[in-house]
Amino acid sequence: MPNVVDDIVAEVAALCRENRDGAVADYIPELASVPADEFALCIATTDGYVYESGSARTEFTIQSISKPFTYGLALADNGPAAVAAKVDVEPSGEPFNEISLDPVTERPRNPMINAGAITSAALIHGADVAERFERIRRCYSRYAGRELTMNDAVYLSEAKTGHRNRAIGHMLRSFGIVTGNPDDAVDLYFRQCSIDVTCRDLALMAATMANNGINPVTHERALATEQIERVLSVMTTCGMYDAAGDWVARVGLPAKSGVGGGVLAVLPGQIGIAVYSPRLDAHGNSVRGVQACSELSKRLELHFM
């Protein structure tokens, strides 16, 4: 029997579906052909129940939503002090792909912008890119509760055109933030961004964060509780880039967006929310993703800050 959350999810989905604002990302050629008007909204609870609406099982690439998960793995591999020596936790107010370091600390300002995310990728342990990627893929799969795979076409498309990220990688190498081969770090970053997920997967990944790092369906631990705390803090202040302030005011939850059209948000101890809608705003955030989270936050009184 449908409960009140089912009704609210259906209501918010119906409202947002009407919105045709924004445009799909086309700077990665393969993303230009995604179906612009697809829409899905899912909520997963920390006791493992999933509410689904729309194309909840359609796959799309995770893109920047990968950043908090790789940051968490970097914390687990290296410890918080070693990671903090390489990447700060300050909001940047900058676009996600800004070629910048903090002029005082000479570190990327946070792990959610590309400079910080490529730094996190460079900190992942493993003998080579293949082994590091396999550790990342398995880590994301534990959050989702199923085996995730990489979308080769999107990876190859970004690898062919991602000169700005290569410039960021070489900048990081020249400042001693990345100490190994910067092209390997950028290649690993392209691969993690190309992992396919569904809206349902993202909701369960968010619910795993809400559940202190334990997947609420498989009961497998994806990350230690203290590292989850650090990841959620950075998502709160930096997850939506130069729209982070507006997001916190409107939605009030730790979150992360990706140019594939996904957005996830976390209400610690309670639920994970995910939206899939490929049309993006000027910040690279899903238009209907922001709208749906804002509507849900209002109707379910989720604003916890």
Footprint on this chain of ligand DON (rule: CB under 6 A): 63-64, 96-97, 114, 158, 165, 193, 257-259, 284-285
Rounded to the nearest whole angstrom, what is the least distance from the CB of residue 5 to ligand DON in the complex? 27
Q: Which amino acids are annotated as binding site, given as ranges?
A: 64, 114, 158, 165, 189, 241, 259
Rounded to the nearest whole angstrom, what is the least distance from the CB of residue 25 to ligand DON in the complex? 8
Which CB, 53 or 97, lies closer to ligand DON? 97
Angle between helices 163-174 and 114-122 (to 10 degrees): 60
Evaluate whether 42 touches 274 at the Cβ level (below 8 Å): yes
Rounded to the nearest whole angstrom, what is the least distance from the CB of residue 194 to ligand DON in the complex? 8
Q: Which two tokens stand for residue 271?
A: 């639920």
Evaluate whether 17 touches 251 at the Cβ level (below 8 Å): no
Q: How far is CA 154 from CA 161, 183, 260, in A?
A: 11, 18, 10
Torsion angle of the four alpha carbons 98, 136, 254, 87, in this order, in degrees rounded to the nearest 10? -50
Which CB, 96 or 276, lies closer to ligand DON? 96
Which CB, 63 or 119, lies closer to ligand DON? 63
Evaluate whether 77 touches 125 at the Cβ level (below 8 Å): yes
Rounded to the nearest whole angstrom, what is the least distance from the CB of residue 170 to ligand DON in the complex? 15
Which CB, 112 or 214, lies closer to ligand DON? 112
Based on C-alpha coordinates, what's the Rg of the chain?
Answer: 18
